[in-house]
Amino acid sequence: MPDSQPEDFAADGGHGAVPLDGVPTALGEQPPSGEWPLYEVFVRGKRGLNHVHVGSLHAADDTMAVHHARDVYTRRNEGVSIWVVRADAITASSPDEKDPMFAPAGDKVYRHPTFYDIPDDVPHM
Amino acid sequence: MTVTDPAPDAAAAELQEQFDAVIARHDRVEPRDWMPEKYRATLVRQIAQHAHSEIIGMQPEGNWITRAPSLRRKATLLAKVQDEAGHGLYLYSAAETLGASRGELTEKLISGKQKYSSIFNYPTLSYADVGTIGWLVDGAAICNQVPLCRTSYGPYGRSMIRICKEESFHQRQGYELLMTMMRGTDEQRAMVQESVDRFWWPALMMFGPPDADSPNTAQSMAWGIKRDTNDDLRQKFVDMSVPQAERLGVTLPDPDLRWNAERGAHDFGQPDWDEFMAVVKGGGPCNAERIAHRKRAHDDGAWVREAASAFAAKGA
Ligand SMILES: [Fe+2]
Ligand SMILES: [Fe+2]
């Protein structure tokens, strides 16, 4: 590549090389005006399984969110049931996933079956 | 979901340490974790431009939906193009976990501040291009995307897993289309060869310039965002494509392409990087048309978005 073109490119976009330099990444330059609210989507893959978070989408209301979720996340029978919930209605444990909230579980090894020594010759245990 | 601000100096070192430990363990970084600003910016740029590529990527093939030669081919092409829309949406959703807003991303695409893959600035001149794009362009995308399933940012990796599952259909339908044409008339075989001649070099450009000209690659790899270098991925793609081309009965338009027994890999020529730069900078055959089309779709949809919002407000 000629020296006059110092920009870096990578196979960043899965469909091909895109520039790495001089691309804006700052947030909040424009307030999201009139944007549909964000919904989180949960799909039950099949009967007998829990609903699992699969991603998010924008929709004007709950009904549209379910329809969009079907089109975006279940085009190939990935699910038998969909939950959607507005992202701003979710309460999360903490900003940092690793905070003291989960620390109490750390020193309670006696809650796990492997804490207890049972001789190998005891059957069915 | 919000992104935490950089902590004050005292705690910053500890946060950085925690982040470094997660990367060192090959563990995943999740949206609510603290992360270095440059890591976040790199991800926003990469995920946003990846999303834009999927969205713009609908256009070249969408061009042929109304002219597909059979109902079977039309259904396949519709499903494929719809998947690309889905890929864009998975990725926009991943970018939003980093604090980017959807409207902002769309605006940056339309205004040309953020780019999309150069490959979509080439026209689809014949129906054979639908097959060639599936085989080579989606094939190259698979080479790029499979390693990204293990990328260090959780939401990005999860999007890539969904996308990779779908890409396999894209590549296979394209190759099958070309095989069908190769079993047809001399004219159809010539169409396939002509199409492969046009797309081979742009497909190789999809991996980006040689590693020596990619100063940011090392940092992205250290962060586990990028998993393989441009040259490694390009080599892999060439080695995969050569036997497929043979089986198909087409010639790849590179006089320097030959097996190197010593390396256990193919030697091949370099794409025209000046052309690549020109296309990325807006000088490709279709740059203006692609953006104009995306802008038109966005503008024409404004009343629908507003009406839906008004309807929702009435119901609330
Ligand atoms: Fe895609
Ligand atoms: Fe694809």
Shortest alpha-carbon distance between residue A2 and chain B (Å):
8
Shortest alpha-carbon distance between residue B33 and chain A (Å):
5
CB contact under 8 A, A98 and B49: no
Distance B25 CA to ligand 1 centre (A): 29
Facing residues of B259 across strands? Answer: B266
Protein residues placing their CB within 5 Å of the ion ligand 1: B 54, 84, 87
Place of tokens 């999201």: A32
Facing residues of A41 across strands? Answer: A55, A84
Which residue has better confidence, A104 or B152? B152
pLDDT digits (tens, 9 = 90+) for B26-40: 999 998 889 999 999
Q: Give 3-state DSSP helix, strand, coil % of chain A, rounded to 5.
A: 20, 25, 55
Distance CA A108, CA A99 (A): 17
Which of A11, A58, A97 lies nearest to residue B33, judging by beta carbons?
A97
Supply angle C-alpha A112, A114, A116, rounded to 5.
Answer: 95
SS3 B15: helix
Shortest alpha-carbon distance between residue A89 and chain B (Å):
10
| The pLDDT of residue A32 is above 60 | no
CB contact under 8 A, A15 and B119: yes
The phi and psi torsions of B253 (rounded to 5 degrees) equal: -80, 55
pLDDT digits (tens, 9 = 90+) for A36-84: 999 999 999 999 999 999 999 999 999 999 999 999 999 998 999 999 9
CB contact under 8 A, B117 and A29: no
What's the mean pLDDT in B192-209? 95
Distance CA B85, CA A72 (A): 8
**Model pLDDT, residue B233:** 93
Instruction: Pick from A3, A5, A12, A62 the residue to mutate for testing the B interface (most B CBs within 10 Å).
Output: A12
Write down the domain spans for chain A. Answer: 9-93
Given CA atoms B253, B254, B258, B262 in this order, what sign does their dihedral have? negative
| Contacts with A, B 66-125, CB within 8 Å | 79, 82-83, 86-87, 89-90, 93-94, 96-104, 107-108, 113-120
| The pLDDT of residue B131 is above 80 | yes
Q: A9-93 in CATH: which number?
A: 3.10.20.520
| The pLDDT of residue B2 is above 50 | no
DSSP conformation letters of B212-276: GG-TTHHHHHHTTS--S-HHHHHHHHHHHHHHHHHHHT---S-TT-EEETTTTEEE-PPP-HHHH
Distance CA B139, CA B265 (A): 18
Q: Which ligand is nearest to the CA of B173?
A: 2
Q: Which residues contact B233 (CB under 8 A, 6 or more apart)?
A: A11, B143, B144, B147, B207
What's the mean pLDDT in A25-34? 62
Question: Shortest CA distance to B78 belongs to which of B90, B91, B61?
Answer: B61
Two tokens, residue B140: 């190259």
* B44 neighbors B134 (Cβ within 8 angstroms): no
* B207 neighbors B233 (Cβ within 8 angstroms): yes
A125: burial class by Cβ within 10 Å (0-12, 13-18, 19+)? exposed
Facing residues of A42 across strands? Answer: A53, A83
**Scanning every residue of chain B, which has its alpha carbon at the shortest distance from the alpha carbon of A36?**
B309
Shortest alpha-carbon distance between residue A105 and chain B (Å):
20
Q: At what angle do helices B138-148 and B230-248 cross, to 10 degrees?
A: 140
Lowest mean pLDDT among B128-137, B220-229, B257-266, B296-305: B220-229
pLDDT digits (tens, 9 = 90+) for B220-255: 888 888 888 889 999 999 999 999 999 999 999 999
**Model pLDDT, residue B227:** 80
**Scanning every residue of chain A, which has its alpha carbon at the shortest distance from the alpha carbon of B29?**
A97
**Scanning every residue of chain A, which has its alpha carbon at the shortest distance from the alpha carbon of B202?**
A16
| The pLDDT of residue B302 is above 80 | yes
CB contact under 8 A, B311 and A25: no
Cα B306 vs. chain centroid, distance in angstroms?
Answer: 31
CB contact under 8 A, B44 and A18: no
Instruction: Pick from B142, B277, B298, B303 the residue to mutate for testing the A interface (most A CBs within 10 Å).
Output: B277
pTM of the model: 0.89
Instruction: Pick from B17, B27, B45 the residue to mutate for testing the A interface (most A CBs within 10 Å).
Output: B45
The phi and psi torsions of A51 (rounded to 5 degrees) equal: -70, 140
Neighbours of A70 (CB within 10 A): 15
SS3 B170: helix
Question: Shortest CA distance to A39 belongs to which of A19, A22, A64, A18?
Answer: A64
Lowest mean pLDDT among B69-73, B110-114, B176-180, B248-252: B110-114
